[in-house]
């Protein structure tokens, strides 16, 4: 079996690592010829270079997407679906290469990277089928001799801006429904994780998705974002990332009254009630907290545990947390890879120190160094601790004790965010009451695994607007046109 370092080296030499963007089916350098280097989060060494593109290249990409739009939209939906299906097949065939690219650029543990490729590919498979189901409706006429129809048509040229934490899945979640609907796309992946996105575009072209339908630009975020939000040709922006950047992009889209989908930050509560099954509760917490080293928008940032089960839960959760292995993402036995950059570790350390200063007890792990943050568990965290108010985005689990149902709901909802939440209980009435009372777009009940292409993903409050996945994800790329025909 190859060693982690030889796999890393082979991945670095991969043909996908090239300083090129794709516009209208062509691959090219930035106009200036300049590049930006991308680091391996584990070693800190340079993986390779990306094109340092800006406004001019983005305008060219928008023009290419605009030219490609009419012929793409005119294709029968079933043909678009077949091309997406071929794209899905080739993504699956290249699963290992793509997973290795994710690990190289994001540091993610390789087993989780493989899971991300499956998850990301599922959006392509799902929307390949959904393409031909963008049905309209005939509405009973309000007066004789008329026909009222509501038809769905593609929005037009769309833009996608995606984050580094799930570099493949966050992109396919946007591109697949857009292409299925008949839209064309200009995408900007995160600067830290561009290569897996560029690889997806190469695979799309390989199976015959026409040039101009899916374009990618990399480089200067503000300049690229300025064109994508300001251009009247771009009819929609779908953004996944932090709430602060999302708010600024929404404002910038207001000038051209663009449609927007915003998948933003979270601060998920996990509520464990006295009647929860202990093993299920611990498993839910492990997944909901430590997936992707805690760098997930739906990560359980606040774990509220009822007094009767609190001590047993904390003891079992501490043992599981301490057993997690921190290390190189390319090592098959690693559970927790490096964080994306050193400042991310600084932020988790700050949350840790702040909670300890507020009286919390450290039960596993401790301070991080460099880009490595050990899986860490705190109990007795105060509700006004920094981590109760802000997304930690790292492997720091924080447990707080509660007494009553009402107190748990009040604490869970005391946040401007509303992306995901989790409930562990065996009582159907508690589950039902909590599920309704929590202000979030998604609720995991006795499970930390909630994301799937088949279900609607998205938040409320400052966690965003719109849905991705499910048939609702297709609607985000369709306009409803009402036709009223008289004289029949």
- Residues annotated catalytic, as ranges: 263, 297
Write out the binding residues for ligand NAP, residues 253-282 only, by CB under 6 A: 263-266
Minimum distance between the CB of residue 276 and ligand NAP, rounded to whole angstroms?
Answer: 26
Q: Any residues with CB less than 8 A from the CB of 15 and at least 6 apart, and which?
A: none
Selected from 7, 30, 190, 237, the binder of ligand NAP by CB under 6 A is: 190
Report the alpha-carbon distance of residue 112 to residue 208 in Å, rounded.
29
How many angstroms from the chain centroid is the CA of residue 390? 18
Stretch that binds ligand NAP, among 142-150, 217-225, 268-276, 325-333 (CB under 6 A): 217-225
Q: Does 132 bind ligand NAP (CB under 6 A)?
A: no
Question: Which residues from 380-419 bind ligand NAP, rule CB under 6 A?
Answer: 391, 419
Q: How far apart are CA 260 and CA 264, in angstroms?
A: 12
Part in contact with ligand NAP (CB under 6 A); list of ranges 123-131, 160-168, 176-184, 403-411: 160-168
Residue 350, CB-side half-sphere exposure with 13 Å CA sphere: 12
How far from 204 is each of 207, 212, 306, 410, CA to CA, in Å?
6, 11, 49, 47
End-to-end CA distance of the chain: 73
Of 290, 321, 266, 339, nearest to 108 (Cα)?
Answer: 339
Does the footprint of ligand NAP cover residue 182 (CB under 6 A)?
A: no
Q: Which is nearer to ligand NAP, 148 or 252 (CB)?
A: 252
Q: Is 163 in the site for ligand NAP (CB under 6 A)?
A: yes
> Which CB atom, from 42 or from 457, has the smaller least distance to ligand NAP?
457
Q: Which of 19, 154, 225, 294 binds ligand NAP (CB under 6 A)?
A: 225
Q: Checking DSSP bridges between strand 137-139 and strand 147-154, what pairing results, if any?
A: antiparallel
Determine, following the binding rule CB under 6 A, whether residue 294 of this chain makes contact with ligand NAP: no
- Pick from 148, 221, 382, 411 the residue near ligand NAP by CB under 6 A: 221
Give the binding range for ligand NAP (CB under 6 A) out of 59-67, 138-146, 155-163, 284-292.
155-163
Residues that bind ligand NAP (CB under 6 A): 161-166, 170, 188, 190-192, 221-222, 225, 240-242, 245, 263-266, 297, 391, 419, 459, 464
């Amino acid at each position: 079996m190859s060693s982690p370092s030889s796999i890393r080296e082979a991945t670095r030499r991969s043909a996908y690592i090239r300083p090129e963007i794709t516009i209208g089916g062509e691959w090219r350098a930035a106009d200036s010829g300049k590049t930006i280097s991308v680091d391996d989060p584990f070693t800190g060494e340079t993986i390779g270079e990306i094109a340092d593109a800006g406004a001019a290249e983005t305008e060219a990409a928008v023009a290419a997407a605009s030219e490609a739009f009419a012929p793409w939209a005119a294709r029968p939906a079933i043909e678009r679906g077949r091309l997406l299906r071929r794209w899905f097949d080739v993504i699956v065939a290249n699963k290992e290469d793509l997973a290795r690219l994710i690990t190289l650029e994001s540091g993610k543990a390789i087993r989780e990277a493989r899971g991300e490729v499956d998850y990301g590919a599922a959006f392509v498979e799902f929307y390949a089928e959904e393409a031909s189901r963008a049905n309209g409706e005939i509405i009973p006429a309000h007066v004789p001799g008329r026909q009222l129809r509501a038809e769905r048509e593609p929005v037009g040229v769309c833009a996608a801006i995606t984050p580094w934490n799930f570099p493949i899945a966050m992109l396919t979640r946007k591109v697949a429904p857009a292409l299925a609907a008949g839209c064309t796309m200009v995408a900007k992946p995160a600067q830290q994780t561009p290569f897996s996105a560029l690889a997806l575009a190469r695979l799309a072209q390989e199976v015959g998705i026409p040039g101009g339908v899916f374009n990618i630009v990399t480089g200067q975020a503000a300049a690229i974002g300025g064109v994508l939000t300001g251009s009247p040709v771009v009819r929609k922006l779908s953004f996944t990332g932090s709430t602060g950047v999302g708010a600024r992009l929404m404002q910038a889209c207001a000038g051209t009254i663009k449609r927007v989908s915003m998948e933003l930050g979270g601060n998920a509560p996990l509520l464990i009630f006295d009647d929860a099954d202990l093993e299920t509760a611990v498993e839910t917490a492990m997944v909901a907290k430590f997936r992707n080293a805690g760098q997930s928008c739906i990560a359980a940032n606040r774990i509220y545990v009822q007094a009767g089960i609190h001590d047993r839960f904390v003891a079992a959760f501490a043992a599981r947390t301490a057993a997690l292995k921190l290390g190189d993402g390319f090592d098959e036995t690693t559970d927790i890879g490096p964080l994306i950059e050193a400042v991310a570790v600084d932020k988790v350390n700050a949350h840790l120190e702040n909670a300890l200063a507020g009286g919390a007890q450290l039960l596993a792990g401790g301070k991080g160094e460099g880009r490595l943050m050990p899986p860490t568990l705190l109990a007795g965290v105060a509700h006004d601790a920094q981590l109760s108010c802000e997304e930690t985005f790292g492997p720091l689990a924080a447990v707080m004790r509660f007494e009553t149902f009402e107190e748990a709901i009040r604490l869970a909802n005391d946040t401007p965010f509303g992306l995901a939440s989790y409930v562990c209980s065996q009582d159907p009435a508690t589950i039902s009451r909590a599920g309704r009372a929590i202000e979030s777009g998604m609720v995991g009940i006795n499970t930390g695994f909630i994301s799937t292409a088949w279900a609607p993903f998205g938040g409320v409050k400052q966690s965003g607007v719109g849905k991705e996945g499910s048939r609702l994800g297709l609607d985000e790329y369709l306009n409803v046109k009402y036709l009223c025909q008289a004289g029949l």
